[in-house]
Amino acid sequence: MPAPAVGIDLGTTNSVVAVSLAGRPQVLSDGNHGPLIPSVVSFLESGERLVGRTARVRRAIDPAHTVASVKRLLGRPFKSEEVRRAKSRVAFDLKEGPDSSVVVSTRGGDFSLPEISAMVLREVRRVAEQGLNQRIDRCVVTVPANFNELQRSSTKIAGRIAELEVIRILNEPTAAALAYGYGRGTREKICIYDFGGGTFDVTLLELAGNVFEVLATAGDTFLGGDDLDAALADWLVPHLLRTTKVDALQDRVAYDILRDAAESAKCALSTQEATTAEFVYQPRKNADPLRFLHRITRAELERLAAPFVSRTFDVCNEALKLAGLKANDLTAVILVGGSTRIPSVRQRVASFFGRDPLTNLPPEEVVAL
């Protein structure tokens, strides 16, 4: 039997791969690991390169040579506002390449963004081949609805470098709507609210038969779960200082570890009313590790997250205005992205659109599915 084509959500934070077997879409994973493949590449001193899960853990240890969240920069000129802002936020080095493109400079060498994306795609392919026990060479890759032609062709180039034939580039919101079974005849207008790790996007689609028309799309390339992690980490900084004398604002590694602790606590608070953030840090070689525990409630996280969640609705209002629609003209709201697991996000989406959003499918997997 010829190998099936797989669907790849090449995400800013994580990538996911799915396949349709006997008409049933399902996500793929290798072994006991979940389906999320971190879109992260880490270049070790030994010359070795890690991609995915093993690379992600190096973000806190070796941030200068661990490349993450570059999707938002794909196909953008080096002198653009996005690249300027990203440069001030990431610990790895971004340089100007040929034709004012962006190049990531690491101890493992200089790489174009399609080359970095190709490294992630190769890992995605490995996971898919392991899951299916079959060689894969064709795929559909999803991209944000607002990707321009250059960004779409950069994504195809990444596929080619990874020796994958990209048989189609599909808009992420269209993919999410298809996963929920839309596109089978009814004429309606729906909203896809996508709140991920690094970016927020909202897309209004008009469905007529199997035609999906983008009525409007709006987004903020610097708004996502990362902001909530940073807000929670910043809130923990004085508590950490008081208990351990470590000033995370003066110590990059300590801050990165604190941010990881904040992210774990944030995720736990989606299902629990309270949790304990745990920070373990060895300030110097051979020094005793420091341990700091701090209780956080869901209410506290909600308070810290509220301004960021409010910004998502400014973007929703912008999209509605562009399309000349009101929130209650829409007949469904689909949630995409890990940050939509946060209960207060769901509640506020429901109250903004005047209807409960669709949540049956896991929000991190829906685009790949």
List the catalytic residues.
9, 71, 172, 194
Output the DSSP codes for 71-113: GGGTT--TTSHHHHHHHHH-SSEEEE-GGG-EEEEETTEEEEH
Enter the DSSP assignment of 66.
Answer: E
**Secondary structure element (H or E) that encloses residue 258, with its range:** helix 252-268
Cα gap 316→183, rounded to integer Å: 23
> What is the nearest approach in angstroms of ligand AMP to the Cβ of residue 193?
12
If the CB atoms of residues 154 and 199 are measured against ligand AMP, the closer one turns out to be 199
Task: At 13, list the tokens.
Answer: 């934070």
β-pair type (49-51, 138-143): unpaired
> What is the nearest approach in angstroms of ligand AMP to the Cβ of residue 223?
11
Alpha carbon of 67 to those of 20, 64, 92, 251: distances in Å?
A: 31, 8, 7, 20
If the CB atoms of residues 29 and 105 are measured against ligand AMP, the closer one turns out to be 29
Cα gap 223→13, rounded to integer Å: 12
If the CB atoms of residues 18 and 320 are measured against ligand AMP, the closer one turns out to be 18
If the CB atoms of residues 56 and 125 are measured against ligand AMP, the closer one turns out to be 56
If the CB atoms of residues 75 and 197 are measured against ligand AMP, the closer one turns out to be 197
If the CB atoms of residues 29 and 153 are measured against ligand AMP, the closer one turns out to be 29
> What is the nearest approach in angstroms of ligand AMP to the Cβ of residue 183?
22
Which residues, other chains included, contact 149 with Cβ-Cβ below 8 Å and sequence gap of 6+?
A: none
> What is the nearest approach in angstroms of ligand AMP to the Cβ of residue 306?
15
> What is the nearest approach in angstroms of ligand AMP to the Cβ of residue 229?
6
**Residue 242: other Cβ atoms inside 10 A:** 9
The SS3 assignment for 331 reads coil
> What is the nearest approach in angstroms of ligand AMP to the Cβ of residue 310?
17
Using alpha carbons, select from 108, 100, 102 the residue that is nearest to residue 64: 108
Evaluate whether 306 touches 210 at the Cβ level (below 8 Å). no
**Burial zone of 16 (CB within 10 Å; 0-12 exposed, 13-18 middle, 19+ buried):** buried
User: Which residues of this protein are in contact with ligand AMP, per CB under 6 A?
Assistant: 11-14, 196-197, 224-226, 263, 266-267, 270, 337-339, 341-342, 364
